């Protein structure tokens, strides 16, 4: 599988300085340049020839495996006994639709990122080889509830966009605009040769209709960034946050903070910037090689390293933070949720920590293959879901995209302690060796999995309700996206 910078959880943007901050070539000191995308020269193709082999209406209930149990969890300085007395839900997943192989402009591509919003799914695709080639497909889905045996999800392709000369690593949807970041070596995407290195990174913004079709009468905006690859995007009400990675000598990696008018607030140069996410007051930047997390305010001020802490945790024999790393050029995602951060660290597994840096729990890498059995992405679904009896129940379902080991799940529950706990389900893995789970997004009873060359998988969640101790409901009862917007960040 081609290792690409893919991230994310939330998303992206565009940027430029005013003329007083530019040099004679219209480029800022941080390499930001805005150009118009061309819908006439073939570099951006809306609703072109898409070989869509989406199989809708599948009904296979997937057999789950007990490959990760509570033994795969580490509880920081606390004992695993803290989690006893909590009964997680028993989830079963039904495969309701899949896209086994997608061809854009005649080339086979792999699913890399997916976001769900209001009954639509936005899925990015990349060429598996070295070529900068990819696209985005918009799907509409409708859930038909019932028992696990009778429930279904209708999925239809709404619109697509293809980039013969550009790959998309991460995307985000916001208010009928789609934000994409990735890399291209073509001048049509703003690439300029530079003595400082290969600055392929760009941001792209395209407008959608109310039916989520790509507009053919609106000019796309391409923003050239001075870096090797765009890696992650997060969008709030008035800010755009973009990370870029430096894959070659001389190219800058770091965090771009932009206003919605595309003016630059701040560029923070940081090597191997992988992922960015935002809560009501702060911005969190994750870097790789080795793994670390830094916190800022929304203007990029007040830099504070919150992970790793200065000293290793007690109670974890042989645990050393300096040994943690994340694979070069691979997907790693960080997700903010209430007071918590869930950080996917590839070969180092998952870290659950507070937004002040306290390490709550870890989940180890799911297999022995350090290249393929890795934790790429994380999603948490706190929506109300219908259980096997048709009752609406809210649970905090934690989903991990674990590369060739597939998809894993847990419940995040409270037992009255200061921090919620990750509780492993008895049988909690599916889709092993069915591709490579790169990214996962879930809402209500639906899960979308970007599964590499295994394509796109759409799952229906069926479950039997677990038990939660009285007066101790699961914490953080809100969706991540709602939390950001409702707090006006």
Is 157 in a helix, a strand, or coil? strand
Residue 24: how many other CB atoms lie within 10 Å:
5
Say which residues have a Cβ less than 8 Å from residue 304's Cβ, sequence separation at least 6: 294, 295, 296
Radius of gyration of the chain (CA): 21
Secondary structure (DSSP) of 31-58: --EEEE--SSSSSSEET--EEEEEEEEE
Q: What is the mean pLDDT of each run of 10 residues along the chain (489 residues)?
A: 35 32 39 84 90 80 69 47 69 90 80 92 86 92 91 93 92 96 87 74 95 96 88 92 80 88 90 93 92 94 88 51 69 92 92 91 84 91 89 93 93 84 88 88 96 90 68 32 28
CB 313 within 8 A of CB 319: yes
HSE-up of residue 339 (Cα within 13 Å, Cβ side): 11
Q: What is the pLDDT of residue 196?
A: 65
Say which residues have a Cβ less than 8 Å from residue 463's Cβ, sequence separation at least 6: 89, 90, 91, 92, 385, 387, 388, 395
* Kind plus residue range of the DSSP H or E element containing 300: none
Q: What is the pLDDT of residue 485?
A: 27
Residue 122: how many other CB atoms lie within 10 Å:
26
Report d(CA 475, CA 373) in Å as an integer: 30
What confidence tens digit (pLDDT) does each residue in 447-467 have?
A: 999 998 888 999 999 988 775
Report d(CA 374, CA 346) in Å as an integer: 5
| Cis amide bond preceding 290, omega within 30 | yes
Q: What is the pLDDT of residue 191?
A: 80
Residue length, the chain? 489
CATH numeric code, 19-486: 2.130.10.10
Nearest to 62 by CA among 329, 365, 451: 451
Measured at the alpha carbon of residue 22, what is the angle toward residues 21 and 24, in degrees to the nearest 5? 145
Torsional sign, CA 7, 12, 14, 15:
negative
Report d(CA 92, CA 461) in Å as an integer: 6
Q: What is the pLDDT of residue 482?
A: 25
Most distant CA pair in the chain: distance in Å?
A: 67
Measured at the alpha carbon of residue 452, what is the angle toward residues 447 and 456, in degrees to the nearest 5? 35
| CA distances to 109, 264, 274, 347, 366 from 369, in Å | 24, 41, 22, 9, 9
Nearest to 475 by CA among 423, 399, 405: 423
Cβ burial 61-98 (10 Å sphere, 16+ → b, else e):
ebebeebbebebbbbbebeeebbeebebbbbbbbbbbb
Report CA dihedral (294, 300, 302, 306) to the nearest 10 degrees.
-10
With 0-12 / 13-18 / 19 or more C-beta atoms within 10 angstroms meaning exposed / middle / buried, residue 163 is: buried
Residue 383: how many other CB atoms lie within 10 Å:
18
Q: What is the pLDDT of residue 470?
A: 36
Domain residue spans in the chain? 19-486
Provide the phi-psi class of 136: left if phi over 0, else alpha when psi is between -120 and 50, else beta.
beta
> Tokens 């690859």 map to which residue?
229
Q: What is the pLDDT of residue 16?
A: 32
Report d(CA 339, CA 77) in Å as an integer: 19
β-bridge mates for residue 362, sequence order:
74, 351
Report d(CA 152, CA 319) in Å as an integer: 45
């Amino acid at each position: 599988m081609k290792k690409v910078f893919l991230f994310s959880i939330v998303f992206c943007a565009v940027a430029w300085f005013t003329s007083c901050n530019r040099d004679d070539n219209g480029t800022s000191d941080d390499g930001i340049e805005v150009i118009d995308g061309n819908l006439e020269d073939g570099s951006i193709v809306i609703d072109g020839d898409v070989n869509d082999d989406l199989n809708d209406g599948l009904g296979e209930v997937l057999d789950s495996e007990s490959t990760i149990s509570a033994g795969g969890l580490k509880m920081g300085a606390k004992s695993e006994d803290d989690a006893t007395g909590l009964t997680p839900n028993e989830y079963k997943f039904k495969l309701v639709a899949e896209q086994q192989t997608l061809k854009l402009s005649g080339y086979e591509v792999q699913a890399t990122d997916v976001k769900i919003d209001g009954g639509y799914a936005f899925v990015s695709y990349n060429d598996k080889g070295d070529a900068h080639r990819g696209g985005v497909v918009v799907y509409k889905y409708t859930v038909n509830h019932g028992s696990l045996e009778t429930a279904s999800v209708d999925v239809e392709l709404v619109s697509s966009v293809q980039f013969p000369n550009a790959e998309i690593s991460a995307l985000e949807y916001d208010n009928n605009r789609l934000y994409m970041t990735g890399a291209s070596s073509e001048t049509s995407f703003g690439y300029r040769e530079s003595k400082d290195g290969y600055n392929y990174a760009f941001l792209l913004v395209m407008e959608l209709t109310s039916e989520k079709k790509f507009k053919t009468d609106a000019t796309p905006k391409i923003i050239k960034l001075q870096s090797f690859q765009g890696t992650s995007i997060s969008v709030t009400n008035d800010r755009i946050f973009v990370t870029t990675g430096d894959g070659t000598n001389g190219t800058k990696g770091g965090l771009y903070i932009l206003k919605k008018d595309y003016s630059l607030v701040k560029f923070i140069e940081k090597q191997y910037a992988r992922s960015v996410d935002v809560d009501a007051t702060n911005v969190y930047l994750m870097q790789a090689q080795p793994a670390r997390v830094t916190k800022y305010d929304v203007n990029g001020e007040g830099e504070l390293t919150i992970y790793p802490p200065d000293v290793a945790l007690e109670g974890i024999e042989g645990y050393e933070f300096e040994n943690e790393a994340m694979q070069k050029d691979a997907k790693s995602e960080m997700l903010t949720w209430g007071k918590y951060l869930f950080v996917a660290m590839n070969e180092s597994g998952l870290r659950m920590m507070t937004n002040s840096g306290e390490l709550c729990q870890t989940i180890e890498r799911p297999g022995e293959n350090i290249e393929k059995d890795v934790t790429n992405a994380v999603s948490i679904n706190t929506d109300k879901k219908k259980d096997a009896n048709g009752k609406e129940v809210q649970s905090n379902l934690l989903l991990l995209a674990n590369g060739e080991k597939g998809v894993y799940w847990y419940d995040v529950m409270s037992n009255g302690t200061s921090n919620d706990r990750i509780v492993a389900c008895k049988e909690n893995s599916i889709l092993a060796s069915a591709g490579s789970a790169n990214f996962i997004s879930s809402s209500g009873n639906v899960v979308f999995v970007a599964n590499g060359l295994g394509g796109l998988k759409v799952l229906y969640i069926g479950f039997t309700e677990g038990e939660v101790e009285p007066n101790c409901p699961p914490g953080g009862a809100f969706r991540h996206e709602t939390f950001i917007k409702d707090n006006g960040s």
